[in-house]
Structure 1
Amino acid sequence: MLEKQEVQEWYGRNARVIHSDSDCLIERYECQGKGLIVTYKAFEGMEMVFMEFNSEDAFIPVTPYSEILEITCCCRGRVVCEFANNRCIHLSEDHFWIGSGEHLPSSYYFPFGYFNAITLVIDKKKMSLSTKKIMDNFSIDIKPIEEKLSLNNAWYISKIPSKLQRLFDEIYEAKGKQSSCYFAIKTLELLFYLQNIERNDAEEEQYYPKDQIEAVKEIWNYMITHLDEKYSLKQLVKEKNMGTTMFQTIFNHIYGDSPYAFLKKYKMGIAKKLILDGEMKIGEIAFSLGYSNASKFSIAFKDVYGILPKDYRKLRS
């Protein structure tokens, strides 16, 4: 199991060990919100890691050297990954990536404010002879996987095939319920499966410069902090020296929706909570979210939730 020194080596000084036993290590990652990292040792040099973040802060791992291979499945939420060359790419639900060496992200940003993932971390420098022997017994060789997927040149990202999805689901459900022996078996299953994937199965990588990502995030922040105001989105984009098409493309890349569709859903999520609180009238909620009248607000709420606000309040009262 990882010792305190190794925890800081991997996750920096923001990581705090809160539980450790023969099966797993649980760390809290200090951030604005909640960050939890649960690690099971499958074999010497192989860790099954569960990441659970409810935060908009960046997660910045400290990868100590280049001989690392990571296989990550996004189980819930969305993550924007920044690389050392200041290019960014995203990973959404039902997708997985494989990366190694310099093609591992230098930081992670969670645009939805939450992110759950499973990562198999393979530390090739720390793989023992017994680990390698087990791999040999199951005819598993990591090097051909790296070569076939061209991991020296880029990382691999793809929608998760149904068979692999079932395996990730089983792993995700087992956290806190199974021992490290279980995760050792699942590690072998995962690596055995990965030997059959091809580079041409990968999705086309869409990278964007960090400064453009930051500009879109600043506009997003303005949008969610001025919900009751009327403003020109086109003007905000122009002030960032961006074209409208590029802004919309990157916004969708980060948040998985068009700016207007995202904003409507965001507002209705707030409205849902306010309706359940019962302290504000429907018209007051509509006005607080920038709607000129309750009728337009009610139509938007029904578009998102399939029920009128007044009926939703009655249903939940």
Structure 2
Amino acid sequence: MNTMSNHSDCIELPLGYYTGINITIDLEKLAEQLSDYLPDLPIDVQGMATHFFVNDECFFIQSKEEIQHIFCGMYSVPIEARTTYFRLKVLEMLIYLYYFDIASETQKTIYARQQVDIIKQIQKRMIEDFERRFTIEELAQQYCISPTVLKTTFKGVYGVSIAAYMKEYRIRQAASMLHKTQKSIGNIALAVGYKSQSKFGAAFKEIYEMSPLEYRNQIKLN
């Protein structure tokens, strides 16, 4: 959530996609009309907004089951019912926010644009040369960033550690090779940066829950 005074004209998505619903609320109009919709719940709209937006900063609430059920129906409701349905759901959301315990929600760290740009350069470098295994120290020195900042900012931007990110990326590339080429499993393991075929097999099974050979055989059957 954010106020219109601190919103961004564009949003940059590190993973390249976004699925969601944006809701914009005119607080002055809402304050005038809310008592008509919720006469038994004296919500102070401006007070609630001030409560969430301390120092005019954004406020993040992590995904929770009680939030998901508010929004999930919005994607599938028939067109003719949307106006009424959306109104009900926004009221439900306001009730949820009215009782929400702000102190219980840990806020995500906001990273400087310069740091994010460097991390994106590092990510691009690693996936373009994914068969090579870069060290944290090597990348930090090359891009003039401390190892600690590199690790924490990468995880903040991409949601996982560098090691976990590259492990999954390599295995996804290997799965594509198993599907599209006739290369041996040993050669594919080498191509994605695994000198040990057993370690490659263990990493592959961790992500796909089957061995590389089982994966290839399943593709053939399909």
1:262 deviates by 0.8
Whether contact under 8 Å (1:100, 1:151) holds in the other structure is no
Would you say 1:136 and 2:35 are equivalent positions?
yes
Would you say 1:245 and 2:148 are equivalent positions?
yes
Q: Work out the CA distance in 2 between the residues paired with 1:145 and 1:197.
A: 10
CA deviations 1:46-102 (Å, max 9, x no partner) are xxxxxxxxxxxxxxxxxxxxxxxxxxxxxxxxxxxxxxxxxxxxxxxxxxxx11033
1:275 deviates by 1.8
1:290 deviates by 2.1
After the TM superposition, which of the residue ranges 252-261 and 131-140 deviates more from structure 2?
A: 131-140
Q: TM-score if structure 2 supplies the norm length? A: 0.83
Q: Work out the CA distance in 2 between the residues paired with 1:176 and 1:218.
A: 43
Percent identity between the two aligned chains: 25
1:274 deviates by 2.4
Whether contact under 8 Å (2:151, 2:162) holds in the other structure is yes
Q: Work out the CA distance in 2 between the residues paired with 1:276 and 1:109.
A: 32
Letter in 1 for 2:192: L
Instruction: Name the count of aligned residue pairs.
Output: 216
Match of 1:272?
A: 175
Match of 1:217?
A: 120
**RMSD, aligned α-carbons:** 2.6
Letter in 2 for 1:114: Y
CA deviations 1:153-210 (Å, max 9, x no partner) are 3221122443233212233443869532221221222122222224323323412221
**Which of the two has greater helix per residue?**
2
Matches within 5 A, 1:38-187: 98-124=1-27, 127=29, 134-139=33-38, 140-174=43-77, 178-187=81-90
Whether contact under 8 Å (1:112, 1:255) holds in the other structure is yes
Q: What stretches of structure 1 of length at least 5 have no aligned partner? A: 1-97
Letter in 1 for 2:34: M
Whether contact under 8 Å (2:201, 2:212) holds in the other structure is yes
Cα gap change, 1:239/1:194 in structure 2, threshold over 3 Å: closer, same or farther? same
1:236 alignment partner, one of 113, 119, 139: 139
1:293 deviates by 4.7
Q: Work out the CA distance in 2 between the residues paired with 1:193 and 1:314.
A: 49
Q: Work out the CA distance in 2 between the residues paired with 1:215 and 1:102.
A: 28
Cα gap change, 1:101/1:134 in structure 2, threshold over 3 Å: closer, same or farther? closer
Cα gap change, 1:100/1:234 in structure 2, threshold over 3 Å: closer, same or farther? same
Whether contact under 8 Å (2:116, 2:153) holds in the other structure is yes
CA deviations 1:207-265 (Å, max 9, x no partner) are 22211111111111101110123444421211222111111111110111110111001
1:291 deviates by 2.3
SS at match of 1:208: coil
Match of 1:189?
A: 92
Letter in 1 for 2:2: G
Q: Work out the CA distance in 1 between the residues paired with 2:78 and 2:181.
A: 37
SS at match of 2:153: helix
Match of 1:34?
A: none
Match of 2:190?
A: 287
Letter in 1 for 2:148: T
Whether contact under 8 Å (1:271, 1:285) holds in the other structure is yes
Moved runs in structure 1, 4+ residues, more than 6 A?
Answer: none
